[in-house]
Structure 1
Amino acid sequence: MDNADMQRFLQQEQQKAMMGEMVGKLTSVCWDKCITGTPGSKFTSGESTCLTNCAQRFLDMTMIIAKRFEMQ
């Protein structure tokens, strides 16, 4: 493995770690916001809608922030 391959590998691993961290944060934030009480075997329609909207807003904001940093 040459230096360029090692750099690509490290960059890919860093991206995987960042994605894992983002998924964990998204799960925590949206779960706390949308799930009240003890969940049953299925989400209620309100919980499901809340989770979907929360996740979408989180991802949208992540993209906006990432683009903002790219411009600087």
Structure 2
Amino acid sequence: MSEANSNSEFQTFIEQENQKAAIQAAISKLTETCWDKCVGKPGSKLDRAESECIANCAERFLDSSSFIMQRLMKKQ
């Protein structure tokens, strides 16, 4: 295996790991934001209103993130 090929594979690995980390950070932010917004007093399970709120919050968060990414890509 050539050194250039090895460096290319390493770069690809690093990029993939960075993408994984970014996805994990986004999921963590989504969870924190929606939980804080929708759950007042945690119980043994979510009630219907909390569950619907979390679902709506997650959808809005993902829609907003997608919109922002599309706008950034258009500017480049």
Is the TM-score greater than 0.5?
Answer: yes
Higher-Rg structure is: 2
TM-score, normalising length: structure 2: 0.87
SS of 2:60's partner is helix
Deviation >2 Å, runs of 4+: none
Alignment of 1:22 with 2:16, yes or no, is: no
Q: Which amino acid aligns with 2:50?
A: E
1:12 maps to which of 9, 16, 40: 16
Q: What is the CA RMSD across the aligned residues, in angstroms?
A: 1.1
Length, aligned pairs only: 71
Structure 1 residues without counterparts, runs of 5 or longer: none
Structure 2 residues without counterparts, runs of 5 or longer: none
TM-score, normalising length: structure 1: 0.92
Aligned sequence identity (%): 45
